[in-house]
């Protein structure tokens, strides 16, 4: 039996408040186990839990994938004026609940769709990497991230995280001729690239540590660089620039996620766009400056896109909130899009 509209809205509110009440920062996703076991029984969808505590409901060659982890800092959930507040309301438990209910409804209608609440998206994307390494492939994937409810995300930048360790000669500060802090500072100024334009790569220092004594110049310095780049940039050229400036230092790549850009004329993009239009709203193609699990999951599906409810400006803030209306629109969009794709296959 399909849920009526008002009943469905009440279900959205109940499930979202419940999942927001469970604090699941990256690494503590196992806290959500009881929630998904309960939902599995209620929705009659088989549950699988992976090694890294990702949760899968249902089976099928279409995947609705969001993430269960959040950034640190619990926010007590509340409902106020049609909005639901709490850590992860926007990123990404709001999209997750929209996908969960869409999966239930679609399976009730006879469509074989799988739902995934992936682990560690805010960390090293262990859940997405685990899924890719499993060998499973999907015909279509929609990634549930906040996209302002009407934006359809077709591009994400890639990211490089570099650890750089430099060594120098420690000398007494009263007579020092060498200073590793000054040397590092000059190198940082040479390679620094402010994140201004999407298609221009950025190089941003985020951590610098050096020195142990108040009257000695340091013998060792540590620097971390956060690099973002689009499909129009060359990763090798960026690394070459860094290596040329830090020739005498040890450079370690600690994270390497390539950018992703999908065909705007692909079936999945057009289906999601029409899923929004069908409700009387105007969709917009968009791209994001950061990265998401879409950058990784693109390796297991030729047809992939990111779409979800929620104001992306509220991600990771202490004022995370999302409306039931936004979630309902996204839920309906998922259903419309997948029904179109399945009917096209027939």
Q: Which residues are catalytic?
A: 69, 121
**Cα–Cα distances in angstroms (integers) from residue 108 to residues 149, 252, 338, in the given order:** 25, 49, 13
Q: How many CB atoms lie within 10 A of CB 336?
A: 19
**Cα–Cα distances in angstroms (integers) from residue 49 to residues 35, 118, 137, 267, in the given order:** 12, 10, 18, 30
Do 259 and 295 meet the contact criterion of CB atoms below 8 Å apart? yes
Phi, psi of 308 (to 5 degrees): -175, 165
Q: 138: Cβ–Cβ under 8 A, 6 or more apart, which residues?
A: 61, 62, 63, 114, 300, 301
H helices present in the chain, as ranges: 5-20, 33-43, 94-108, 126-133, 180-191, 235-245, 267-277, 294-297, 324-345
3-state SS track over 205-222? EEEEEECCCCCECCCEEE
C-alpha span between 86 and 70 (Å, rounded): 11
Label residues 306-330 b or e (16+ Cβ within 10 Å = b): bbbbbbbebbeeeebbbbbebbbbb
Phi, psi of 64 (to 5 degrees): -105, 110
Pairing of strands 250-257, 83-85: unpaired
Find the helix or strand (DSSP H, E) in which 27 lies: none
Burial tier of 196 (Cβ tally within 10 Å: 0-12, 13-18, 19+): exposed
Q: 15: Cβ–Cβ under 8 A, 6 or more apart, which residues?
A: 39, 97, 100, 101
């Amino acid at each position: 039996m399909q849920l009526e509209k008002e009943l469905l809205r009440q279900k959205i509110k109940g499930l979202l408040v419940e999942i927001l009440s469970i604090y699941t920062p990256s690494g503590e996703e196992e806290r959500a186990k009881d929630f998904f076991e309960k939902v599995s029984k209620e929705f009659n969808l088989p549950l699988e839990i992976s090694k890294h505590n990702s949760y899968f409901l249902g089976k099928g060659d279409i995947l609705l994938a969001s993430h269960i982890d959040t950034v640190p800092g619990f926010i007590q959930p509340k409902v106020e004026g049609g909005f639901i507040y709490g850590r992860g309301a926007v990123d990404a438990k709001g999209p997750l609940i929209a996908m969960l209910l869409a999966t239930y409804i679609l399976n009730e209608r006879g469509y074989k769709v799988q739902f995934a609440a992936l682990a560690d998206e805010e960390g090293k994307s262990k859940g997405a990497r685990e899924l890719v390494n499993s060998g499973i492939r999907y015909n279509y994937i929609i990634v549930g991230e906040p996209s302002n409810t009407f934006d359809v995300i077709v591009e994400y930048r890639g990211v490089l995280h570099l650890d750089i360790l430099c060594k120098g000669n420690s000398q007494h500060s009263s007579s020092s001729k060498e200073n590793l802090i000054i040397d590092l500072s000059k190198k940082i100024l040479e390679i620094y690239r402010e994140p201004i334009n999407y298609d221009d790569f950025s190089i941003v220092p985020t951590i610098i540590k050096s020195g142990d004594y108040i009257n000695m110049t340091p013998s060792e310095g540590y620097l971390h660089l956060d690099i973002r780049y689009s499909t129009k940039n060359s990763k090798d050229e960026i690394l070459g620039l860094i290596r040329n400036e830090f020739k005498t230092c040890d450079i370690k790549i600690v994270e390497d996620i390539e950018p992703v850009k999908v065909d705007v004329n692909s079936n999945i993009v057009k289906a999601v766009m029409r899923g929004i239009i069908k409700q009387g709203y105007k969709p917009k193609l968009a791209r994001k400056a950061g990265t998401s699990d879409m950058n990784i999951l693109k390796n297991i599906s030729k047809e992939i896109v990111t779409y979800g409810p929620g104001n992306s400006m509220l991600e990771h803030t202490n004022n995370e909130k999302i409306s039931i209306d936004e979630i309902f629109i996204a839920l309906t969009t998922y259903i419309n899009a997948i029904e179109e794709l399945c009917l096209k296959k027939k």
